Structure 1
């Protein structure tokens, strides 16, 4: 099966910037209070005795995966960038990290107690989101929880025209309205329980949307 072109672009770009990205991305403890609270709420929902491991999809250098693990969550990381996975494994050798794509997860049906997609889906073209969200539904156990967070907007399609550090990037970003994201999650069979939209602050120019959902029993 031919890989979608957007995955190739994302992989190549994040492989190129991985070291700079790992240095610059915030530690979870440095996030704003709302983001920290949402991660803590998600951890409360998925830590044992809730059944099944928790996949941090689009884990990057593994900082949030490690944060979840420190909160008692049986978390592991998946990322499309082999270089990001190398960095994550080096930084957190006690945790499991694998290369993979959200469009075709190498995870069994109903295996997961939770999924975190943290700033991981906004590079996905809207026509591919139903495939991604269907994979979330397929791999979650009944009652399994999802937290999805990332940039939202009015449907903008952004193409970077600058370099990240010393490296050019070639991925695109798609800033969908929060209502559209919630609709697509619900169409995939997930029940959305919480939506939080944060307005831009601290130099940011983009809204952030966070969604909590679950797979019905």
Structure 2
């Protein structure tokens, strides 16, 4: 999927998506715990990359994190600003977060990498690495499955990743994997989350 394809697909369904998934209360309690725990020791600017309707950005902001949400889809940014007016949001791509190199202490990419074509994922993660300071933190959430296998997502085509392959790509981008969580909930696609740290 190109950025233009993703932008158009989500833009057309932004209102519906926000109604269904625009509140942290609707998210799994273990996801809330995972993101909360990840952010507890980060001191410095954080970007919620692919923030969608902005609920996780607000979740971090309420916990004192210096965070801003960025998303490719202007309709999402409009809704995020409306629902969470005290939190900064702006339009940007995962391929270019619009920050100086080495300026971030953390990047949250919670299910925002699933539409990135497998050929492009190493470059996207390397770009995130360049935006982070040494020792900076990354947390990604994704659907676990056969590495790079496509599936029909409700909004736009997406890809599964195996934990082992995602570990490999992260290492190649300069990260050290700190923790891995997996979960299989009845009736839902398998979940995985990886917390990683940019090598010092």
Residue 16 of structure 1: which of 6, 9, 12 is its match?
Answer: 12
Runs of 4+ in 1 over 3 A off after TM superposition: none
Residue 111 of structure 1: which of 103, 110, 113 is its match?
Answer: 103
Is residue 185 of structure 2 the alignment partner of residue 200 of structure 1? yes
Residue 131 of structure 1: which of 112, 123, 129 is its match?
Answer: 123
Structure-1 separation of matches of 2:80 and 2:27: 19
Q: What whole-Å deviation, never above 9, does each CA across 1:63-95 have from its counterpart, x for those lacking one?
A: 110001111111100101011111111111211
Do the aligned residues in 1 keep the contact of 2:142 with 2:161 (CA within 8 Å)? no
Which residue in the other structure is 1:67 paired with?
59
Structure-1 separation of matches of 2:16 and 2:6: 15
Which residue in the other structure is 1:209 paired with?
192
Equivalences, count = 199
Structure 2: segments with no counterpart, 5+ residues: none
Q: Partner of 2:68: helix, strand, or coil?
A: strand
Structure-2 separation of matches of 1:45 and 1:138: 21
How far is 1:45 from its partner? 2.5
Residue 152 of structure 1: which of 141, 144, 147 is its match?
Answer: 144
Q: Partner of 1:117: helix, strand, or coil?
A: strand
Structure-1 separation of matches of 2:84 and 2:118: 33
TM (normalized to structure 2)? 0.94
Structure-2 separation of matches of 1:151 and 1:74: 28
Structure-2 separation of matches of 1:64 and 1:158: 25
Structure 1: segments with no counterpart, 5+ residues: none
What CA RMSD, in Å, does the superposition of the two structures yield over aligned residues? 1.4
Q: Which has the larger radius of gyration?
A: 1
